[in-house]
Amino acid sequence: TRRAMGGALPFKDALTERLALIQPSREQVQRLLAEHPPHLTPGIRELVSRLQERNVQVFLISGGFRSIVEHVAAKLNIPTTNVFANRLKFYFNGEYAGFDEMQPTAESGGKGKVIRFLKDKFHFKKIIMIGDGATDMEACPPADAFIGFGGNVIRQQVKSNAKWYITDFVELLGELEE
């Protein structure tokens, strides 16, 4: 994950390697979510809420797994139709069967493909990508702007190359108020 997020390894290769090692079952994923639900970064709930109040559509585009990202989306009142993430596949008995390699988020450049799709489908005038990894940064363009985020982890490549870099969502909230 670290090599892919830092841009040193194609994302699909990193994903394949990780999943081959852990081979999570459906039960393990469900237990993980129950015992360790995803935590929200301070300020994100308020930022998303403020954007939604302004009729701005918010999307979650993640190289993570949909089953986990959907829990984050629910906490942020983001519809699951606005979630783009990788899908784990399981056999009928719940054992790991792989991941959906056809998801654009499963490959390097995939987040950019999602943004192009959103622009084509919704004719958005501007799309701003916020993220902490190389795969987020490489989505601009087609995103119109990229804001690097270092509130959870600081990746030097992102910090050095982002025109705007923040470590706290409160800063973005302040900008919305101006």
CATH code where residue 134 lies: 3.40.50.1000
The model's confidence at residue 77, banded by pLDDT at 50, 70 and 90, is: very high
Percent of the chain that is helix, strand, coil (3-state, to 5): 45, 15, 35
DSSP 162: -
Q: What was the pLDDT predicted at 73?
A: 94
- Tally of domains within the chain: 1
**Residue partners of 58: CB distance under 8 A and separation at least 6:** 48, 51, 52, 76, 78, 82
List helix spans (H) across 6-155: 11-22, 26-35, 44-53, 66-75, 110-122, 134-137
Residues 103-124: tens digit of each pLDDT = 887 787 889 899 999 999 999 8
Whole domain around residue 155: which residue ranges?
2-177
Res. 125: pLDDT tops 90? no
Q: What is the pTM of this model?
A: 0.80
Q: What was the pLDDT predicted at 167?
A: 82
Q: What are 80's two structure tokens?
A: 């699951």
Residues 21-32: tens digit of each pLDDT = 888 888 988 898
